[in-house]
Amino acid sequence: MTEEDYIKKWLTDTLSEAEKEEFSQTEAYSSIQRMDRELQKFKAPAYDETLEFDRLRSRLRPAGRQVRVNWVPWLAGAAAAITLLVVSYFLFLVPEYSSYTTGIAGKRTIVLPDSSLVILAAKSELRLKEDSWDNDRFVELTGEALFQVARGSDFHVYTETGTVSVLGTEFNVRDRTGFYEVICYEGKVAVKSGGVTESLTPGRFFRAVNGDITTESSEYYNYPHLLTNESAFSSVPVREVIAEFERHYDVKVIPENIDLTVRFTGRFGHDNLDLAIQTISVPLGLQYRIINDERIILTGE
């Protein structure tokens, strides 16, 4: 038997007593023993089920109250039928929306019922109907989010400015005041906005700035910026870049002598204010002054 055979058999506990004895004398055995001992340091930290379940319990309520039909024999049948009617009225006629929101500098990951994933950017809201999800996959979005959609039926993202429809893919939607943009990273995405329908392939984006529609591709949009905690812009009006900066750093940026329609191309990170403001101001030839925690002045020539 080779050393490899010994180890394989030892791992599956299929060595005979004699073989075990022999193996325990080897160099390989003692080095594995040492490793096993050392590996214990990497044990997962302690986990308390009771504590964790208590933490979860408070979030269980809403679903727990759903359809609780008591199948008491026939006398109660009529009552049950009425209960059912009332329940289905609430289930099917009154839309039961779940809502997820983020504040300034916030970001959260949402797992949808079909295990599609959404990363919601700062100052945004996502609404969906979990009950009818199987028949109709759609979400309503205010702000920005990255979507990684599991394969399946049509998936729609509705925002005030447009509709994005896909089958299964990865894309980013931002809908901020006067600025709507859809970036496709994977698969194929259909966008409908302002009477225009466009089909996007990976690397391309759709944009409507105050009703002005363009479809282009940009190397700045070749990977999802929300995954790397950045905001990426490909020739976006400074006005929108500043607004985005404010959403991440909870400061007010006061522009002085700046043409807010000038286009900016680049990225800024979400974890270093100084670096981020430099990334914006230097390429545009602007000066900045940090007044305090709440105010930054950005000036032109």
Partner 1 sequence: MSTEEEADLCNEKRFEQLFNTVSRDLYRFIYHKFGTDSNPADLVQEAFLKLWQNCRKVTPEKARSFLFTVANNARLNQIARDKTAMKYAESDQRNVEIETPQFQMEHDEYSLQLKEALKSLSEDQRVTFMLNRVEGKKHQEIADMLGISRKAVEKRIYTALAILREKIKGF
- In angstroms, give the least distance from the CB of 145 to partner 1: 12
The dihedral region occupied by 117, where left means phi > 0, alpha psi between -120 and 50, and beta the remainder, is beta
Phi, psi of 239 (to 5 degrees): -50, -50
The three-state secondary structure class of 294 is coil
In the complex with partner 1, which residue's Cβ is closer, 11 or 275? Answer: 11
DSSP secondary structure string for all residues of 199-257: EE-TTEEEEEETTEEEEEE-GGGSS-GGGGTEEEEEEEEHHHHHHHHHHHH--EEEEES
Query: Mask 33-52, x = binds partner 1 (CB under 8 A)?
Result: -xxx-xxxxxxxx-x-x--x
In the complex with partner 1, which residue's Cβ is closer, 100 or 288? Answer: 100
Options 28-36, 214-222, 244-252, 289-297: segment touching partner 1 (CB under 8 A):
28-36
- In angstroms, give the least distance from the CB of 65 to partner 1: 10
Tell me the pairing of strands 137-148 and 170-176: antiparallel
- In angstroms, give the least distance from the CB of 146 to partner 1: 9
In the complex with partner 1, which residue's Cβ is closer, 256 or 271? Answer: 271
Among 87, 91, 117, 243, binds partner 1 (CB under 8 A): 117
- Binding status of residue 12 toward partner 1 by CB under 8 A: yes
- In angstroms, give the least distance from the CB of 287 to partner 1: 33
User: Tell me, what DSSP letter sits at residue 89?
Assistant: I
- In angstroms, give the least distance from the CB of 274 to partner 1: 22
- Binding status of residue 59 toward partner 1 by CB under 8 A: yes
Amino acid at the residue 140: E
Distance of CA 296 to the CA centre of its chain: 29
Q: What's the Cα-to-Cα distance from 160 to each of 88, 129, 177, 192, 232, rounded to whole Å?
A: 30, 18, 10, 11, 22
- Residues of the shown chain interacting with partner 1 in the complex, contacts defined by CB under 8 A: 4, 7-8, 11-12, 28, 31-32, 34-36, 38-45, 47, 49, 52-53, 55-56, 59-60, 63-64, 66-67, 71, 109, 111, 113, 115, 117, 119, 130, 148, 150, 227-229
